[in-house]
Structure 1
Amino acid sequence: MSELLLPEPALNEPIVFVDLETTGGSTSEHRITEIGVVEVGPAGVSRWSSLVDPQQPIPSFIQQLTGITNAMVQGAPTFADIAPALLERLKGKLFVAHNASFDRGFLRGEFRRAGLAFDPDVLCTVRLSRALFPAEKRHGLDALVERHALVPFDRHRALADADLIWQFWQRLHGLVPLDVLRAQIERTTRRYRLAGDITEDLLDTAPAGCGVYAFYGEEDVPLYVGRSVRVRQRLRAHLSGERRSSKDIRLAQQVKRVEWRATGGELGAMLAEAQWIATLRPGHNRVPRVSKSDPADAPWPFDGPIVFEEREEALQSRAFHVVDRWRYIGHAASLTQAAQLHASSEKLPFELSTYRILQSHLARGLRVMPLGLPTDALTPVSSVA
């Protein structure tokens, strides 16, 4: 098929249209049997494909669907054999695929097993088709072939299906106004090439539950502090490009580094967030106003440091938070560790944010106890002077 002539492309960045054939649907259990790539860039359009030895049998129904047999992949290169050259072919380009999470997930897993990181920006043409043609019910590749008069030279073979995605991309330029197409592409693209040195693998180590996080920019200048009951998920929402506001996008463009801290609960996250904001004074956070009625210091209504417990049921974890004279010390996994945390802590100044937050929660019956007493000594406190 000859390439369509596009008067002005929706994107000026290099693009790869990718399709895979595999031994099944599980990225952990199954392996790739064929890779097809249509590469579009300043030099024009090029095509590349390779069978891959999955080093496991291909189920018979997969052989019938794709036409790829065990005999065909015998002697083909393994993924590890082609990984460096394939990564060089794909890196720095927008990764476009139909049901892209499938193809990206398989490639990311294979590259990881080969000791390489793979985190391209990704555009799913299923999602793009749904966004552009919401009245249509079917958005599978067969439906696109029928609806947009695409010309398959084969089906369920990797390069042939990658070529169909490329044909669909070209058709869109004649069906959708360019400004609308560009806007939907930007809205649909997931930006996995994250800020600075931040990668998907790094975000995998962020807390799944409650915590706080801080973004830093050039010269490690604090940009923003936030909290969430799902820190890892919130960080991805900030940085990956999905469902981001224009404000989030502007912030993400400045981020060079991120740090986080698990807090063991929502109240702990509130206290830690307020403490970080007061200490770091990041440019994208509102600094709480200090009114004339706010104390510069306040009497501590307890005889010494206190501790309160929070539980994260989803993670089946518990945390003991330590506060002393309106200063949030931190949290520990046990009362013994909480006492050690307090003993090793520095003397901190009065924290207005801690005062405000705890006053509110103590008034609602937060159960606290003096640090050093057994758990059954927890006593509700109804008010604080």
Structure 2
Amino acid sequence: MSEPLLQIAAVDVPIVFVDLETTGGAAASDRITEVGVVELGPAGVSRWSTLVDPQQPIPPFIQQLTGITHEMVQGAPTFEMIAAMLFQRLDGKLFVAHNASFDRGFLQSAFRRAGFSFNPDVLCTVRLSRALFPAEKRHGLDALVERHALLPSDRHRALADADLLWQFWQRLHTLVPVDVLRAQIERTVRRFRLAGEITETMLDAAPTGCGVYVFYGENDLPLYVGRSVRVRQRVRTHLSGERRSAKDLRLAQQVRRVEWRATGGELGALLTEAQWITALRPSHNRKVRAGKGDPVCAPWPFDGAIVFEEQDGRSAAAPIFHVVDAWCYVGHATSLDQARALLARSPSGRFELTTYRILQTYLARGLRVTPLSQAKTGLVPDGLAR
């Protein structure tokens, strides 16, 4: 090539342009019949492809579209046979495809069946084309071929279509300034691998509403405890947000795994965050220090442990019951019976300054609590107000 690859790439990681042919459009039930990969890296451009035995019939209209017949895939390797080699070829590289969710979804399902976790960062050339050429109405691969004078060798075959994406990529560098192209690519890329083994797929299980989370580093060292009214969004912002602070960037580089807990509401998040910080002593959280006016201890104004109910208005999750005893946050449960069991298992806690500060504020605002000994099974009745 006449230009260094990194000048042409407009990104700083190896790139793979990928296309698949399949027996249909459903990743759960259909199977891959062909894989084509064009890889762009420091050593140059390499191409690789293989037919794949789908171990299921290829519908006639798919045979007509792709030209891939039953006879062609007989004797070809199954996906399980190429999985390890293909994973090594794709892992850690920017995954570029047209309608990328289709190709990523099929490969992710196929790799999962073969025992691999496949979560690459993904750039969809449909989305990129729409972002760079908003005046154009069509962004399918045939439209790109026509608009940018790409040279197809064999449409609807995996390697030939992957090569069209590589041609499109080169053409963009002649049409768009590299700094503009780089910025748009950064906005368009979907980051599925966020930190360590944390992926976007894993984050789908995080609470969408109120809760707390903790980041762990090497050797499971607690790094940071945080809270949010939108846990999933906040964790994603920490690890992949465009406007991260220098502190967030340093933290994200150390993170290896994350845990979270839904708390039912903001007060529960405050109490749980304080509890976790005290127990874990994470290195990136500020240490709680007593001020001049803070008590070393304070009398407990209730007769035994109290309970209050809290529900996250942003989700349909069941309410959560929080238990506090002698200015010590015991924890939360999903029923009053579980709350009593939680209290019975918990040793008598010592005075917690942060819990004292939080509850004093909320009790002053009219938080309604009930002595746990008086709470009846079912909803917490209107109780004491402070």
- Asked whether the two chains share a fold, i.e. TM above 0.5, the reply is yes
Equivalent residue, structure 1, for 2:354: 353
Contact in 2 for aligned 1:37/1:48 (Cα 8 Å): yes
Return the letter of the residue paired with 1:374.
K
Aligned to 1:374: 376
| Residue number in structure 1 paired with 2:188 | 188
Q: Which residue of 2 aligns with 1:245?
A: 244
What does residue 225 of structure 2 align with?
225
TM-score, normalisation: structure 2? 0.85
Give me the whole-angstrom Cα distance separating, in 2, the residues matched to 1:366 and 1:382: 6
Q: Number of residue pairs matched?
A: 380
CA deviation profile, 1:345-364 (whole Å, cap 9, x unmatched): 23333333323433444444
Hey, what's the Cα distance between the residues in 2 that align with 1:204 and 1:283?
Answer: 27
CA offset digits 1:71-108 (Å, max 9, x no partner): 43344322112111111211232211122222112111
The 1:255/1:19 distance shift into structure 2, 3 A limit, reads same
Name the SS of the counterpart of 2:145 in structure 1.
helix
**2:96 counterpart letter in structure 1:** V
Instruction: Give 2:345's aligned residue.
Output: 344
| Distance (whole Å) between structure 2 residues aligned to residue 165 and residue 183 of structure 1 | 19
For 1:154, what is the secondary structure of its paired residue?
Answer: coil
Residue identity opposite 1:98 in structure 2: H
Tell me the secondary structure at the aligned position of residue 95 of structure 2: strand
Q: By how many angstroms is 1:146 displaced?
A: 2.4
1:138-157 equivalent positions in 2, closer than 5 A: 138-157=138-157
Secondary structure, aligned partner of 1:106? helix
Are the aligned partners of 1:363 and 1:381 in contact in 2 as well (CA < 8 Å)? no
Matched, 1:256 2:259: no
| 8 A contact 1:362–1:381 mirrored in 2 | no
CA RMSD of superposed structures (Å): 3.0
CA distance in 2, matches of 1:74, 1:64: 17
Q: Is the 8 A contact 1:38 1:48 kept in 2?
A: yes
Change beyond 3 A, Cα 1:43–1:204: same
- Equivalents in 1 of 2:2, 2:129: separation in Å? 19
AA at the equivalent of 2:148: H
TM norm structure 1: 0.85
Question: For residues 19 and 303 of structure 2, what CA distance do their matches in structure 1 show?
Answer: 67
The 1:278/1:77 distance shift into structure 2, 3 A limit, reads same
Superposed counterparts of 1:12-161, under 5 Å: 12-161=12-161
**CA–CA distance in 1 between the matches of 2:245 and 2:185?**
15
Deviation (angstroms), 1:289: 7.7
- 2:177 matched residue in structure 1: 177
Moved more, 3-12 or 334-343: 3-12
| Structure 1 residues 318 and 329, CA gap change in structure 2 (3 angstroms) | same
Select between 225-234 and 29-38 the one with higher mean Cα deviation.
225-234
Contact 1:365 1:380 in 2 (8 A): no
How far apart, CA to CA, are the structure 2 residues paired with 1:289 and 1:147? 64
Preserved CA contact (<8 Å) 1:34 1:51: yes
Aligned mates of 1:139, 1:350 — CA distance in 2: 63
Change (3 A) 1:4 1:129: farther
Match of 1:331 in 2: 332
1:51 aligned partner, one-letter code? L
Q: CA deviation at 1:49?
A: 1.4
Task: Describe the shift of the 1:221–1:82 C-alpha distance in structure 2 as closer, same or farther (beyond 3 A).
Answer: closer
Unaligned 5+ residue runs, structure 1? none
